[in-house]
Amino acid sequence: MKNTAFLKPVLCAISISLLFVSCNQPKKEIEEKVTIEEITTETPEYFYLRPEVEKTFGYTHAVKIGNDIKISGAVSMDADGTPTAVGDFEQQMINCYSDLNKILEHFGCTFDDVIVENVFTTNMPKFLEVAAYRNEIYKKQFPAGSWLGVKELAMPEFLIEIELEVYKSE
**pTM across the whole model:** 0.76
Give the pLDDT confidence score for residue 40 in this predicted structure. Answer: 57
Give the pLDDT confidence score for residue 4 in this predicted structure. Answer: 53
Give the pLDDT confidence score for residue 114 in this predicted structure. Answer: 98
Give the pLDDT confidence score for residue 26 in this predicted structure. Answer: 53
Give the pLDDT confidence score for residue 8 in this predicted structure. Answer: 54
Every domain of the chain and the residues it spans? 42-167
Q: Which CATH code of 3.40.50.300, 3.40.50.720, 3.30.1330.40, 1.10.10.10 fits the domain covering 42-167?
A: 3.30.1330.40
b/e per residue 115-153 (b: at least 16 CB within 10 A): eebbbbbbeeebbeeeeeebeebeeeeebebeeeeeeeb
Give the pLDDT confidence score for residue 16 in this predicted structure. Answer: 47
The dihedrals phi and psi of 95, each to the nearest 5 degrees, come to -65, -40
pLDDT (tens place) for every residue of the chain, 170 residues total: 455 555 455 444 444 444 444 445 554 544 455 554 455 578 999 999 999 999 999 999 999 999 999 999 999 999 999 999 999 999 999 999 999 999 999 999 999 999 999 999 999 999 999 999 999 999 999 999 999 999 999 999 999 999 999 999 87
Q: Are strands 68-74 and 45-47 parallel, antiparallel or unpaired?
A: unpaired
Distance CA 161, CA 77 (A): 11
